[in-house]
Amino acid sequence: MPEVWSAPVRFVECDQQGVAFNAHYLVWADEAVNAWWAARGLPWQALVERGVEYFVKASSLDWVSSARYGETVAVDVGPAAVGRTSLTLEFTVRVGDRTCCTVRTTYVATVDGRPTPWPDDVRALLSAG
Amino acid sequence: MPEVWSAPVRFVECDQQGVAFNAHYLVWADEAVNAWWAARGLPWQALVERGVEYFVKASSLDWVSSARYGETVAVDVGPAAVGRTSLTLEFTVRVGDRTCCTVRTTYVATVDGRPTPWPDDVRALLSAG
Amino acid sequence: MPEVWSAPVRFVECDQQGVAFNAHYLVWADEAVNAWWAARGLPWQALVERGVEYFVKASSLDWVSSARYGETVAVDVGPAAVGRTSLTLEFTVRVGDRTCCTVRTTYVATVDGRPTPWPDDVRALLSAG
Amino acid sequence: MPEVWSAPVRFVECDQQGVAFNAHYLVWADEAVNAWWAARGLPWQALVERGVEYFVKASSLDWVSSARYGETVAVDVGPAAVGRTSLTLEFTVRVGDRTCCTVRTTYVATVDGRPTPWPDDVRALLSAG
C-alpha cells in the first residue's frame, strides 16, 4: 500500500493524556482518501461535478500504539473490497515504521442521497487498485 | 440503554456535504463515556487519581443516517462486554427516534501504559451495567 | 447582556496544558451568535434563504482565565456596534461568575461574496439590541 | 517575515459556507508559533522542561479573504513586540501571495500559572527576532 498523506501531529490534536485524540484518526483517514482519489486522477470535486457523492457507511479502527505531539503521522492506503455501490479502503496510520492504527472504512456512492452504482470508469479505476 | 449525553450539532461540526463530519461521532461517544462513568460515581479523574487510565483500543462505527446542523444528537450507552482488562461499550447516536450511528468501543485499563486488570470495585460496578 | 449559549467543556477541547485550547473560544462564540440570531426570530438559515450570508471580518479575544474540563462555559452576547453592512458583537465567555474571555467579532453581510447593506428589517432588529 | 509553517486546508476545516472556518486560523497560528520557537532552537517542550509555560493572553484576527479546500495555507511569523513577561507575534496566513488573515497574538510566560519574566537567554533570542 502506497503512502498517500503525511502530516506532523498538531498540538491541538493531543489531549490531556498526552496522545493524539482518537477522533483525529478519522480526520487523517479522510485526508488520505481524498489524496488517494486525487492520485487516481479523480479528485473528490470531480465526482461531485458528475453528481456523485460518497458517504462513509462504516469505519473500524484498531489502535496498537499512540501518536504524540512532535511526531509525524503517515497514512498508507489500499483497496480492501470494491462492491457495486460501495468501496472499502484500508488505511495504516503510522509513525515511521511503527503502526499506530489500522482503519477500514466503507464508502457508498450516492446520487441525491441514495446509493448508486459507481460509474463504469470509476469502477475500472477502483478495480485497478 | 439510558441516554447519558446530548448536544445540538455545532455549525463547525458540519462539512461541505451539509452533514456532521464522521470524526465527530467519536467525540460525542467520548463525551458520552465520560458521562457514563460519572453517572456511576466514578468520573474519569477519580480513576486517574488512583493511577488507572483507560485508552481506546478499538472502535467501530456504522452509520444509517446523518445528523445535520439544527438537530440535537443524543447518545445512549450500555456495556456490551466486560473483560479482565477491557470494557466494550455500545453507543447509539440518534436524533430523536432516528438512529444515526451505532458505535462500539473497546477500552483498556492501563497503569504506566501497560494493560492492567480493572480494580475489583470498578469491575463490580461495570458488571452491574 | 443575556446568556444565549452554554455547554460543558469537552475533553477533546482541552490540550496538554490542561485547559481549553484557545481556538475553541471562536467555536463557542460561533454557536452563541447563531443562538443570538435565532432568539431574534432570524436563524442563520433564514438569512441564507434570502440570499444574505454573513462572514466574520475581524475578531479579537482577551483571556483573563482558563476554562477546564469538568467546567461549563456560558456565553453572554450583546451588540457593540451596528454599521451599514457590518455588525459587531461582544461575547463574554465565563464559567459561572468568572470571566474567561471577552470576544469581539465583526460580521459583514454579503450577497454573492460582496458586502451588502443589512436588509431594513434586519437592521431594525439589530438596532433593537 | 519568514514562512514557518504550511499545510493543505483540510476538508474537515471547511464549513457549509465552503470556506475554512474562522477558528482554524488560531490552530494554524499555534502550529506556526511552535515552529517559530523550534526554528530558534527552543522548542515548546524545552521551555516546559525549564518550568516555563506560555499562554495566549490576547489574539486579534483580521480577514481579507477566505481559504478553501484544495488550497494550501502558509504562515509567515515575526515578532511585533517583546515585553518583560510578554511576547507579541504577528502572523500572516496566506494562500500563495493572497493574504487571508493577519493574526496578532500576545503570549505571557508563566511559572505555576503566574506571569514571570522571560529567562535572559530567551529574551536575548526573542530580541534577535
Mean residue pLDDT of chain A comes to: 92
Beta-carbon separation of C12 and A23 below 8 A = yes
pLDDT, tens digit, for every residue of B40-93? 888 777 888 888 888 899 999 999 999 999 999 999 999 999 999 999 999 999
The per-residue pLDDT for A122 is 85
Number of domains in chain A: 1
* ipTM, interface predicted TM-score of the complex: 0.93
pLDDT, tens digit, for every residue of D40-60? 888 777 888 888 888 899 999
Residue C80: which pLDDT band, with cuts at 50, 70 and 90?
A: very high
Residue A93: which pLDDT band, with cuts at 50, 70 and 90?
A: very high
Q: D-chain residues within 8 Å CB-CB of B15?
A: 11-12, 14-16
Alpha carbons B36 and B78: distance in angstroms, whole number: 9
D26–chain C Cβ distance below 8 A for any pair: yes
D72–chain A Cβ distance below 8 A for any pair: no
CATH of the domain at C29: 3.10.129.10
Mean residue pLDDT of chain B comes to: 92
Mean residue pLDDT of chain D comes to: 92
Q: A-chain residues within 8 Å CB-CB of C21?
A: 11-12
Alpha carbons C103 and C118: distance in angstroms, whole number: 22
By C-alpha distance, which of C52, C69, C60, C64 is closest to C16?
C69
Contact B67, B15 (CB under 8 A): no
* Cα torsion angle, A42, A47, A49, A54, sign: negative
Beta-carbon separation of C7 and B7 below 8 A = yes
What's the mean pLDDT in C38-57?
84
Residue C129: which pLDDT band, with cuts at 50, 70 and 90?
A: low
Beta-carbon separation of A24 and B23 below 8 A = yes
Q: A-chain residues within 8 Å CB-CB of D4?
A: none
D99–chain C Cβ distance below 8 A for any pair: no
The per-residue pLDDT for A54 is 87
Contact A98, A110 (CB under 8 A): no
pLDDT, tens digit, for every residue of A14-27? 998 899 999 999 99
The per-residue pLDDT for D129 is 60
- The whole domain housing D122 covers 3-127
pLDDT at C97 over 80: yes
The owner of cell 486522477 is A41
pLDDT, tens digit, for every residue of A69-85? 999 999 999 999 999 99
The per-residue pLDDT for A129 is 60
The per-residue pLDDT for D49 is 85
Contact C18, C68 (CB under 8 A): yes
Contact C56, D22 (CB under 8 A): yes
Contacts of D79 by beta carbon, 8 Å cutoff, 6+ apart: D87, D88, D89, D90, D126, D129
The per-residue pLDDT for D57 is 96
Q: Considering only alpha carbons, which residue of chain B is nearest residue C9? A: B31
For residue A88, list its beta bridge partners. A81, A106
Ranges under pLDDT 70 in chain D: 129
Contact C111, C51 (CB under 8 A): yes
The per-residue pLDDT for D121 is 85
